[in-house]
Amino acid sequence: MIKIKQTLNELEDKLKEQFELLKILVESYDSGNTVVAKSIATSIRVLLHDTKNSKSLFGQLGLKNKNFLDTSISNQDGNLSSFHGLMGISVGNEKSKYIPWLDGYPPIIFNFVPFDEYWNRIIFVDKNKNSFSRKDIILNIADQDGGAHVDPDIDEKFKNLARENSLGWIGNLNGISYDLEGAELAATRQIAHEILRSSLPDYPKKKMNTNGIAAVFSNIVLVAGEGANLIKNTFIKNKIPKVGRNEKCPCGSDLKYKKCHGK
């Protein structure tokens, strides 16, 4: 088989295609089709993951040198049970579920970090003290659990997270208890949001989807719903300094904050 090198213009066109694909997939997720998170994970793998035999689009285009939006809350204080850094848990008259908070975590916080820090940051710690990074979640979904492949063998820790509720959160509706499912899917949705916001300055901020939900908790802290404003400053303090509107955006775009992620 003869292979020829793709041109820069061709690679940039492929990048635009992946961004358009991500936009379509996240809209589908937000309308209730959470299973598309598996396809989201595959698209993210195409964009970000390098191996000996394949190169990511970001790597080929030199885009890993920029900073990435990190919306994960900190686990600096530790938790009595488990930790989930990219989502909340809904409470209301329907079954509880994991809710990606998009740009909706109060107070509105963000940080821009180098790729390696972003990709390898811990976003889950389960009740057995097993930890998972963004990379772990995306590659397990894409490579083993139905994104691009369904492998005959699957990582045991990931299986416990995705299928055995190793985070340990239990819901109760009308006296019936049930395991909360889909943490890995909700995290994947949030990662896609981070990548789109990091890469496309015109990509709009999005509110957490709280329609029909009485409240949203994150690691036992109320972050949305009635009473949320009373405690919104109790969980994260001084994560990053305030950025002036005329200062350079911390994402590394070299634009003023007001013309980039401060819109």
> What is the structure's pLDDT at 245?
73
CA distance 173 to 186: 21
**Could you report the per-residue pLDDT of 49-80, keeping only the tens digit for each?**
999 888 999 999 999 999 999 999 876 545 55
Residues 6+ apart with CB under 8 A from 250: 67, 111, 112, 240, 243, 257, 261
Predicted local confidence at residue 92, as pLDDT: 75
| Contact predicate 207/81, CB 8 Å | no
CA distance 12 to 137: 26
Query: What is the structure's pLDDT at 243?
Result: 63
CB atoms within 10 A of CB 4: 5
At 27, the amino acid letter reads E
Compute the Cα dihedral for 208, 213, 219, 220 and give only its sign: positive
**Start-end of H helices in the chain:** 8-30, 37-48, 57-60, 115-120, 134-143, 156-163, 183-199, 228-231
pLDDT at 241: 47
Residue 228 to residue 210: CA distance in whole angstroms: 13
Assess contact for 137 and 49: CB atoms under 8 A. no
Name residues of the chain where pLDDT drops below 70: 75-81, 106-109, 214, 219-243, 248-254, 257-263
Q: Domain boundaries in the chain?
A: 8-259
**CA distances (Å), origin 48, targets 22, 55, 134, 170, 187:** 13, 8, 11, 33, 16
The rounded distance, in Å, linking the Cα atoms of 163 and 247 is 45
d(CA 25, CA 18): 10
Q: How far apart are CA 150 and CA 111, in angstroms?
A: 34
pLDDT given for residue 222 in this prediction: 44
